[in-house]
Amino acid sequence: MVILVCVTTAPALDECLAALDRSLPAGTPVLVADDAGGDPRVAPLAHGWCERTRLPAHFLRRDRPYGRARHRGYLIADHPGQDLVLLDGDALPVPGWLEALQRCAGAHPDVATLSTWSNGVGLCSFPRFCEASPLPTSLDTIAAAAARMGDEQLPELPMAQGPCLYLRADALRRLGSWDCDSFEALGADADFCHRAASMGWRNVLCPTVFVGRSESAVSEPVGDDLRRLSARWPSHQEELARFLLSDPLYPLREKLTERLAELIGAARHGGPQGDLFN
């Protein structure tokens, strides 16, 4: 298992790396990867963290920007035969997140990708569907509520989304990595998910994990990526539209809200969400 952190901005990265220090089991390899971004604070911050952390960590900075799809595709290709977690540089996981993902993947060997709950905009948004919410004031509490959710039934997604993406090594071996020649950004993520589904793999939500997001980000393929994706997979937009209209995650969001209310009520903090989302 390797954690691949795709850098966004220095302030967000600082928070992300601190969260990884607190949450990852000892010995978990981490690669912090900067696609030749323009923030001069990133390199010294990342180098310093790699030297101080208890984790085996390294920093990579491209000599020129490759673009989102190619950057991520090369990172994945450089780690053959290993399960991977792609983390956006603004992701804020809490203790137990990786173990929960691994348990979920181990219990469902037909899963190619696992996405998680997040306050960021996307298919797995919480508490509001497909809407960004402020960062919860207590990530530990909402993560504990998610941990009380069962993962016996995993809802399928039309495409993987969010700040945290678990990739199974066997699926990568059989399907190949990101199509960096056809897509420039999020279209490559969706294309991989479609290829996985066409070969009998599943792309699902892991309902027991919540990963916070400190910045907002685009969560849909746009522009040329969307046109190329629709040409290759004509059912893409229809599948996505059906998911948006039917909102199959609604019962799980309600269940997570209930678990959250139970925890907050026990701690005498008030309502189910009012104290967590500003």
CATH of the domain at 100: 3.90.550.10
For residue 193, tell me if it sits in a domain.
yes
For residue 85, tell me if it sits in a domain.
yes
Instruction: Give the global pTM.
Output: 0.93
For residue 12, tell me if it sits in a domain.
yes
For residue 87, tell me if it sits in a domain.
yes
Using pLDDT thresholds of 50, 70 and 90, give the confidence band for residue 84.
very high
State pLDDT tens for residues 170-212: 999 999 989 999 999 889 999 999 999 999 999 999 999 999 9
For residue 199, tell me if it sits in a domain.
yes
Using pLDDT thresholds of 50, 70 and 90, give the confidence band for residue 153.
confident
Contact 5, 89 (CB under 8 A): yes
For residue 278, tell me if it sits in a domain.
no
Average pLDDT over residues 75-103: 96
Residue 276 CB partners (closer than 8 Å, separation 6+): 136, 137, 138, 141, 142, 260, 264
For residue 272, tell me if it sits in a domain.
no
Domain encompassing residue 138: 2-266
For residue 150, tell me if it sits in a domain.
yes
Phi, psi of 87 (to 5 degrees): -115, 125
Phi, psi of 121 (to 5 degrees): -65, 140
Q: How far is CA 140 from the centre of its chain?
A: 17
For the cut 60, the answer to whether the pLDDT of residue 227 exceeds it is yes
Cα gap 76→109, rounded to integer Å = 20
Instruction: Give how many domains the chain has, as a whole number.
Output: 1
